[in-house]
Chain A
Amino acid sequence: MTAPRSWNRLPRVAPDAVHALTQRYAGVPDGLPRPLLAHGNGRSYGDVCLTEQGTLLLTRGLDRFIEFDPQQGILRCEAGVTLAELLALVVPQGWFLPSTPGTRLATVGGAVANDVHGKNHHAVGSFGHHVRALELWRSDGSIIACRPEDDNGWFSATIGGLGLTGLIRWVELQLMPIQNPWMWVESQRFANLDEFWALNRRAEARWPYTVAWIDCLAKGKAQGRGILLAGQHAAAQAELPAFKEGGKRIPVDPPFSLVNGLSLRAFNTLYYRQPVKPQGALTHYVPYFYPLDAIQGWNRIYGRRGFYQYQCVIPPREAEAATAALLDTIARRGEGSFLAVLKTFGNKPSLGMLSFPRPGTTLALDFPDRGDKTLRLLEELDAIVREAGGTLYPGKDARMPASLFQAGYPQWEAFSAYVDPGFSSRFWQRVTP
Chain B
Amino acid sequence: MNSLNRVILFGATSAIAEQTARQLVAQGASLYCVGRNRDKLMALIDDLKVRASDHQQIDGDVADLTDSDQHARLIDAGERALGGIDGALIAHGTLPNQQACQADVTQTRQEIETNALSVISLLTLLANRLEQQQYGVIAVISSVAGERGRQSNYVYGAAKGMVTLFLQGLRNRLAKSNVDVVTIKPGFVDTPMTAELDKGGPLWAKPEQIAKGIIKAMQKGKGEVYLPWFWWGIMLIIKHIPEAIFKRMSL
> Quick check: is B39 within 8 A (CB to CB) of the other chain?
yes
Decide yes or no whether A199 CB sits under 8 A from chain B. no
CB <8 Å contact, B39 and A65: no
> Whose C-beta in chain A lies nearest to the C-beta of B45?
A64
Per-residue interface assignment for chain A, residues 11 to 40, with 1 indicating a CB less than 8 Å from any chain B CB and 0 otherwise: 000000000101111100000000000000
Contact-residue size bin, chain B (C-beta under 8 Å from the other chain)? 10 to 19
Is chain A's binding surface mostly helix, strand, loop or mixed? mixed
Shortest C-beta distance, A71 to chain B (Å), equals 12
Tell me whether A23 and B199 are in contact in the complex, defined as CB-CB below 8 angstroms, given that A67-B46, A68-B50, A89-B51 are known contacts: no
Q: Is A240 an interface residue when CB atoms closer than 8 A count as contact?
A: no
- With A22-B192, A23-B40, A23-B43 as known contacts, state yes or no: A65 contacts B199, CB within 8 Å: no
Which residues of B in the span 13-31 have a Cβ within 8 Å of any Cβ on A? Answer: 15
Number of A-B contacts (CB under 8 A): 33
B51 touches A25 (CB 8 A): no
**Contact residues of B: prevailing secondary structure:** helix
Residues of B within 8 A of A22 (CB): 15, 192
| C-alpha spacing A20/B207, complex, angstroms | 15
Q: Is B236 an interface residue when CB atoms closer than 8 A count as contact?
A: no
Are the CB atoms of A65 and B40 closer together than 8 Å?
Answer: no
Task: Please report the C-alpha to C-alpha distance between residue A1 and residue B51 in the assembled complex, in whole angstroms.
Answer: 33
Give bound CA distance, A65 to B44, whole Å: 9
Q: Could you tell me if A23 and B39 are in contact, using CB atoms closer than 8 angstroms?
A: yes
The B-contacting residues of A in range 47-77, CB under 8 angstroms, are: 61, 64-68
Interface size class of A (residues with CB under 8 A): 10 to 19
B198 and A65 contact, CB distance less than 8 A: no
**Known contacts A1-B199, A25-B39, A65 near B50 by CB under 8 Å:** yes
CB neighbours of B50 from chain A (8 A): 65-68, 89
Is residue B76 contacting chain A, with contact meaning CB distance below 8 A?
no
CA distance A1 to B199 in the complex (A): 7
Residue B244 CB within 8 A of the other chain: no
Q: Which residue of B lies closest to A21 (CB)?
A: B192
Chain B nearest Cβ from A79, distance in angstroms: 13
**Alpha-carbon separation in the docked complex, A20 to B46 (Å):** 21
Interchain CA distance A89-B52 in the complex, whole Å:
10
Residue B195 lies at the interface, judged by CB distance under 8 Å to chain A: yes
Distance in Å from the Cβ of A433 to the closest Cβ of chain B? 37
Chain A residues with CB under 8 Å of B40's CB are: 23, 25
Alpha-carbon distance between A66 and B51 when the two chains are bound, in angstroms = 10
* B67 contacts partner chain A, Cβ-Cβ < 8 Å: no
Q: Are A65 and B51 in contact (CB under 8 A)?
A: yes
What residues of chain B lie closer than 8 Å to A23, measured between beta carbons?
39-40, 43
A158 CB to nearest B CB, Å: 22
Q: How distant is the Cα of A68 from the Cα of B53 in the complex, in angstroms?
A: 12
Taking CB atoms, residues of chain A closer than 8 Å to B198 are 1
> Given the complex of chains A and B, what is the CA–CA distance between A64 and B43 in angstroms?
7
Cα separation A125 to B77 with both chains bound (whole Å)? 49
B194 to chain A, nearest CB (A): 11
B47:A65 contact, CB within 8 angstroms: yes
Taking the nearest CB of chain A, how far is it from the CB of B51, in angstroms?
7
- With a cutoff of 8 Å between Cβ atoms, the chain B residues found around residue A89 in the complex are 50-51
Within 8 A of A (CB), among B40-82: 40, 43-44, 46-47, 50-51
Nearest CB in chain A to that of B39: its residue:
A25
Considering the chains assembled together, what is the distance between the CA atoms of A67 and B43 in angstroms?
10
Q: Which residue of A lies closest to B54 (CB)?
A: A70
Closest to A63 in B: B47
Q: A64-B46, A66-B43 given. 12 additional CB < 8 A pairs?
A: A23-B39, A23-B40, A23-B43, A24-B43, A64-B47, A65-B46, A65-B47, A65-B51, A66-B46, A67-B50, A68-B50, A89-B51
- Using a CB–CB cutoff of 8 Å, the interface residues on chain B facing chain A are 15, 39-40, 43-44, 46-47, 50-51, 192, 195, 198-200
Q: Which A residues lie at the B interface, using CB under 8 A?
A: 1, 20, 22-26, 61, 64-68, 89
